[in-house]
Amino acid sequence: MSFFGKIFGGKKDEAPSTSDAIQKLRETQDLLTKKQEYLEKQIDDCILIAKKNASKNKRVALQALKKKKRLEKTLLQVDGTLTTLDLQKDALEGANTNAAVLISMRDAAAALKNAHKNLDIDNVHDIMDDIAEQHDLANEISNAISNPVGFGDDIDEDELNKELEELETENFESDLIDVPGPTKLPPLPSQIQEDEPAKVKKPAKKVEEDEDFKELEAWAS
């Protein structure tokens, strides 16, 4: 199939996809770019011919310049067409990107809808209420278990305090009875050292007095 057949062929009622349209635009751009290069080469050739025959053959030179003008006009048209094709290609690429984004968003919405298919907002609220109720019940059970039951509920605190005071009084009186009387403290080491020489000397003096007394009695008899 020829290039134009690719561009204009196919069923008329069938719109091409963005990818196909972008591909065709690129092929057209390649064709126009080749034509642009050909026209530029033709213009350069016309300029050479005009320069070569400017003084020798003015008619040939003028014809070359006229042809150059026509080629330049055509080249401007090709340049304009390429610019239009660039704009169309950019728009199609943007549309293609938008289409891909929309498809992704559509698939995500469908997946989300499918995930919520079996969920009802009333059921969700009921479930959350049940969870909150069970949490409250668990807290009440924990508090009930942590509080001692049947231990000390029937005990009179005033009676306990009175009994405690009596015990303290008994202990105080017992301590007074058991207190020992005054005792003689042992002498200090310094006192012992001072008293010992005196105790040693006294018996010696008494012995001397006894001997003198006996000697006096012997003289008297």
Instruction: Express each pLDDT in 180-210 by its tens digit.
Output: 655 555 555 555 555 555 444 555 555 565 6
> Would you state the pLDDT for residue 96?
83
Write b or e for each residue in 104-140: b if 16 or more Cβ atoms lie within 10 A of its Cβ, otherwise e.
Answer: eeeeeeeeeeeeeeeeeeeeeeeeeeeeeeeeeeeee
Q: Is residue 161 part of a domain?
A: no
What integer pLDDT is reported at residue 164 of this predicted model? 79
Q: What is the dihedral of CA 169, 171, 176, 181, to 10 degrees?
A: 180
- Quick check: is 152 in a domain? no
Q: What is the DSSP letter of 150?
A: S
Q: What is the DSSP letter of 156?
A: -
Q: Which helix (H) or strand (E) holds 37?
A: helix 18-52
Q: How far apart are CA 14 and CA 11, in angstroms?
A: 5
Q: Which domain holds residue 35?
A: 18-115
- Is this model's pTM higher than 0.85 or not? no
Rounded Cα distance between 169 and 162, Å, is 11
Residue 100 covered by a domain:
yes
- 3-class secondary-structure state, position 9: coil
pLDDT of residue 219: 46
Whole-angstrom distance, CA of residue 132 vs CA of residue 141? 14
CATH number at residue 40: 1.10.287.1060
Distance CA 122, CA 91 (A): 47
Name the 3-class secondary structure at 13.
coil
Q: What pLDDT does 17 receive?
A: 81
Q: What is the pLDDT along the chain (221 residues), one digit of tens a residue?
A: 554 455 555 555 677 887 888 899 999 999 999 999 999 999 999 999 999 998 888 899 999 999 999 999 999 999 999 999 999 999 988 988 888 899 999 999 999 888 888 777 888 888 899 999 999 999 989 888 887 665 555 667 778 788 878 887 877 767 666 656 555 555 555 555 555 554 445 555 555 656 655 655 554 45
pLDDT at 27: 94
The pLDDT score that the predictor gives to residue 14 is 76
Number of folded domains that form the chain: 1
Residue 72 covered by a domain: yes
28: number of Cβ within 10 Å: 19
Tell me whether residue 198 is in a domain: no
Q: Which phi and psi angles does 143 have, rounded to 5°?
A: -65, -40
pLDDT reported for residue 68: 93
Q: Is residue 42 part of a domain?
A: yes
